[in-house]
Amino acid sequence: PRPILLTRHGESMDNVRGRIGGDTELSEAGEVYSKKLANFVEKRLKSERAASIWTSTLQRTILTASPIGGFPKIQWRALDEIYAGVCDGMTYEEIKKNMPEEYEARKKDKLRYRYPRGESYLDVIQRLEPVIIELERQRAPVVVISHQAVLRALYAYFADRPLKEIPHIEVPLHTIIEIQMGVTGVQEKRYKLMD
Ligand code: G3H
């Protein structure tokens, strides 16, 4: 069995400000995580010569991967965070205040709700298909550094969780979810590297 390691990027400046989307750099804590992650990955995958690191095309995942040495890095646009369209860069409070109907519609059906000029969870799930096919095809370990909404969908696929749960699955920051796919099924371990 070979592991797939899933992690969100280290805390970003937008995470600190409570803004969704955007393309900011890491906070200080996020930078600390990137180094801890590099240590972990370099140890965990020491003799795995064919392993690779997959990120999104957004700065915060690329920066999180940057201290990791010794493995090829591949950027996937399909791993970018759910795109919030006209709400990109807003806080949830601002959405609630300025676009209450949108806020309520999303609360009612978070899976199907599509941000104006943006994406829904169902859109994200659909665009992840080629990534999943490629992950299934890989024989070597893969470290996927991505974003909350995307990782909810990827995790649900491997952990066999129902579609309707996806938008609500907890994928905490600064935590690695290791998935092992063996003949007896899927096993999961979590490593919380920091708060
Ligand atoms: O910036 C987007 C968030 O990571 C997605 O979280 O779908 O729970 O609003 P949410």
Question: How far, in Å, is the centroid of ligand 1 from the Cα of 183?
Answer: 33
Judge whether residue 152 has pLDDT over 90: yes
Ligand 1 close to Cβ of residue 20 (< 6 A): yes
pLDDT of residue 142: 98
Instruction: Report d(CA 130, CA 135) in Å as an integer.
Output: 9
pLDDT of residue 179: 96
pLDDT of residue 157: 96
DSSP string covering 65-116, please? HTT--SS-EEE-GGGSPPP-GGGTT-BHHHHHHH-HHHHHHHHH-TTT---T
Residue bearing the CA closest to ligand 1, atom 5: 149
Question: How far, in Å, is the centroid of ligand 1 from the Cα of 148?
Answer: 6
Question: Which value does ipTM take for this structure?
Answer: 0.90
Residue bearing the CA closest to ligand 1, atom 7: 149
28-73 pLDDT tens trace: 999 999 999 999 999 999 999 999 999 999 999 999 999 999 999 9
pLDDT of residue 194: 96
Residue bearing the CA closest to ligand 1, atom 4: 148
Judge whether residue 195 has pLDDT over 90: no
pLDDT of residue 1: 67
Confidence of residue 184 (pLDDT cuts 50, 70, 90): confident
User: Amino acid letter at 25?
Assistant: E
Query: Taking residues 133-158, what's their average pLDDT?
Result: 96
User: Best mutation site among 16, 19, 82 for ligand 1, i.e. most ligand atoms within 8 A of its Cβ?
Assistant: 82
Instruction: Report d(CA 145, CA 189) in Å as an integer.
Output: 16
Ligand 1 close to Cβ of residue 167 (< 6 A): yes
Angle between helices 129-137 and 148-159 (to 10 degrees): 50
Ligand 1 close to Cβ of residue 21 (< 6 A): yes
63-116 pLDDT tens trace: 999 999 999 999 999 999 999 999 999 999 999 999 999 999 999 999 999 999
pTM: 0.97
Judge whether residue 121 has pLDDT over 70: yes
Instruction: Report d(CA 159, CA 174) in Å as an integer.
Output: 20
